[in-house]
Amino acid sequence: MNSSSGGFFTTIASSVIEQGGVVFGARFNDCWQVEVDYTDTAEGLSAFRGSKYVQADTGSSFKDAQRFLKEGRKVLYSGTPCQIAGLKQYLKKDYDNLILVDLICHGVPSPKVWDKYVRTKVKGKTGSTINFRDKSTGWESYSIRIAEYAAKYYDDPYMKLFLSDVILADSCYSCPFRSGRSGSDYTIGDLWGASDWVFKNTREYGIGAVLVYNERLKLEPDWHKEINKISYNEVISSNPSLIVSSKKNCFARNMSVMLSTRIGVSCAAYALRCLRFARRRIKKFVYWRSR
């Protein structure tokens, strides 16, 4: 239930831990920023579960992963496609004991924008819980929860700006690492749009898509019980992020200028709504005048 979609990350990560391996994933630090850390216990995996829609700091994780690999331990590194490509470049050679898992990636907002927003919600309280994909209102109509605050994703200002593609990092608008080009062994994501035709009773828990490029790990035969094989095109049809970058629209520049000032995320989301409304009106007016 704490996984964002089908929970494949936990399936594969638990198998690595059982074999004495080390798992790298993204977690919140004490200041509510996201960073890549590692664990070799099953309990340690819980901090990695759940998508964090913020750019994660890889810190010393590439160096740590290399150390474990050289010691001969199995290592699973999970992250965005660009992080996986970055790790491969850092390591400069292939390791048989390395398993790479990346995500279908929409893009990441800047940590500065997230910091601005989260501070207005946690108000200095440490130990607050944050969940970008709370499923208590359903998997498809998920909510964001920050401490006592909760809102459906489409009502929350930060999620609105994220999903409108106006606060993504510049590199995300022309990302060269999609479509399995990061060099990962598995890509995991949501199987949006599949609920009616693939599975019957899983709507509240979520359905994940797993693309297997290299079956590096022999998993328990049981995990196949919940797997249906579908074509690559079926995954793409409801999830274009797998192959195409988000478009940098004309509002993105305005938002980054706005958010670099004292203007908060909620005001920026409101301004986006007004700008869109004004644009629609202008378009209508121009169309009417040209008739």
Q: Applying CB under 6 A, which of residues 49, 74, 88, 145 lies at the interface with ligand FAD?
A: 49
Among ligand SF4, ligand FAD, none, the one that 157 touches (CB under a kind-dependent 5 to 8 A) is none
Stretch that binds ligand FAD, among 111-119, 184-192, 226-234, 278-286 (CB under 6 A): 184-192
Distance CA 248, CA 21 (A): 40
104 binds ligand SF4 (CB under 6 A): no
CB 123 within 8 A of CB 146: no
Q: Which is nearer to ligand SF4, 169 or 236 (CB)?
A: 169
Q: Applying CB under 6 A, which of residues 69, 85, 87, 103 lies at the interface with ligand FAD?
A: 103
Ranges of beta strands (E only) in the chain are: 22-28, 34-39, 75-79, 98-103, 130-134, 143-146, 149-152, 186-190, 208-212
Q: Which is nearer to ligand FAD, 30 or 290 (CB)?
A: 30
Q: Minimal distance in Å, beta carbon 177 to ligand SF4?
A: 5
- Give, as ranges, the residues between 60 and 99 that touch ligand FAD (CB under 6 A): 78-80
Write out the two tokens for 230: 């579908």
From the CB of residue 40, how many other CB atoms can be counted at a distance below 10 Å?
A: 15
Q: Which is nearer to ligand SF4, 15 or 83 (CB)?
A: 83
Site string for ligand SF4, 33-72 (x = CB under 6 A): ----------------------------------------
| β-strand partners of 146 | 130, 149
Among ligand SF4, ligand FAD, none, the one that 143 touches (CB under a kind-dependent 5 to 8 A) is none
Among ligand FAD, ligand SF4, none, the one that 177 touches (CB under a kind-dependent 5 to 8 A) is ligand SF4
User: What is the chain's Cα-based Rg?
Assistant: 20
Distance CA 158, CA 53 (A): 10
166 binds ligand SF4 (CB under 6 A): no
Q: Applying CB under 6 A, which of residues 28, 53, 142, 251 lies at the interface with ligand FAD?
A: 53
Question: In terms of Cα–Cα distance, which of 112, 65, 69 is closest to 84?
Answer: 65
- Give, as ranges, the residues between 11 and 30 that touch ligand FAD (CB under 6 A): 25-26
For residues 109-138, one letter each, b for 16 or more C-beta atoms within 10 angstroms of the residue's C-beta and e for the rest, the string is bbbebbebbbeebbeeeeebebbbbbbeee
SS3 105: coil
Distance CA 61, CA 208 (A): 26
Contact footprint for ligand FAD (CB under 6 A) = 3-10, 25-26, 34, 48-54, 56, 78-80, 103-106, 108, 188-190, 208, 239, 241
Contact footprint for ligand SF4 (CB under 6 A) = 80-82, 105, 107-108, 169, 171-172, 175, 177
